[in-house]
Amino acid sequence: MSVIKPKCLYKFRSINLDHKVGIERFKQIVIENKLYFAAPSEINDPFDCKIPPNFDADEKTLRQFIIDETRNNPDFPGAPDSVIESFADDVIASDGVKKLSKDMLASMRLAQGQILNRNVGVCCFSAVKNDILLWAHYANGHTGICLEFNIQKGIQLFHRAKPVKYYKSYPNVNFFKCYHKNEHWMPKILIAKANCWKYESEWRVFKFDGPGLEIFPECCLTAIIFGCQMQDREKHFLINFVKENKMGIKLIEARMKENKYGLKFMQIT
């Protein structure tokens, strides 16, 4: 079933004029149109991207896997099918399958973190801008900002956006089922998180040439929303900076609702 993408995605950030790195990163986004894609090890959830695949499979699936891998192994060039199939039967008949699965799981767990941190960059967004907890956790207690990105205007980047899936327990990512469907197990673990994170309504964009910066279309950054607790010093800096450098970006201020828990948003003129 296809997932309907929201019109906009939001990225929360702290902003403090005393923190030079944060200000430079903000300028990178607004002036240079660059977003930072973090390594999985930089994400704040220690369980993130660490779900190990399992290797449960029936004998038929295992046998076919052994045959396919042996055929593709450069150590066995031109081996006859009869020899390869006989080898697979011998592995299945012995305890080799158990050892194979155990060894694969151990090596996969060892290599998983290294592979992901070296080859994957992730940029995290939310589908909502009005969640009080998001402002508290990712915008330094409502003193930071929320960047609004229009997906339709940034299709070159956001066509890769995937919604995070939330689980009460580790999802069952079966190596052999993915193999049989000609899928890779890795994308499945990159968008899996514990159910307690569901309030984030998170979407992720990945790059598979390692962590680092990636340029986004200038027109897709459509608004900067100020937190309801932002200090005047930061507010004045942001207003002047955006007006001097990016006139097309709307400036919006979050305010506390008077009679209930919630935020409302007012455009700054």
Q: What percent of the chain has pLDDT over 70?
A: 89
Distance CA 255, CA 252 (A): 10
Distance (Å) of CA 41 to CA 27, 96, 122, 251: 24, 34, 10, 33
Task: Kindly state the tokens that stand for 48.
Answer: 């993130």
Sequence-ordered alpha helix ranges (H) in the chain: 20-32, 59-71, 81-93, 96-119, 132-138, 155-158, 175-180, 186-190, 232-245
Distance of CA 164 to the CA centre of its chain: 8
Burial of 133 (0-12, 13-18, 19+ CB in 10 A): exposed
Q: Within a 13 Å sphere around the CA of 17, how many CA atoms are in the beta-carbon half? A: 10
Cα 246 to Cα 138: distance, rounded to the nearest angstrom: 24
Both tokens of residue 171?
Answer: 């999802």
Question: What torsion do the CA atoms of 255, 199, 42, 185 make, to the nearest 10 degrees?
Answer: -150
Q: What is the pLDDT of residues 11-48, one digit of tens each?
A: 999 999 988 888 999 999 999 999 999 998 899 899 98
At residue 2, the pLDDT reads: 66
- State the pLDDT confidence band at 57, using cuts at 50, 70 and 90: confident
Q: Which SS3 state, helix, strand or coil, does residue 76 take?
A: coil
Contact 233, 205 (CB under 8 A): no
Stated pTM of the model: 0.82
Say how far apart CA 216 and CA 223 lie, in whole Å. 15
Angle between helices 20-32 and 232-245 in degrees, nearest 10: 30
What's the pLDDT tens digit per position in 190-223?
999 999 999 999 999 999 898 999 999 999 999 9
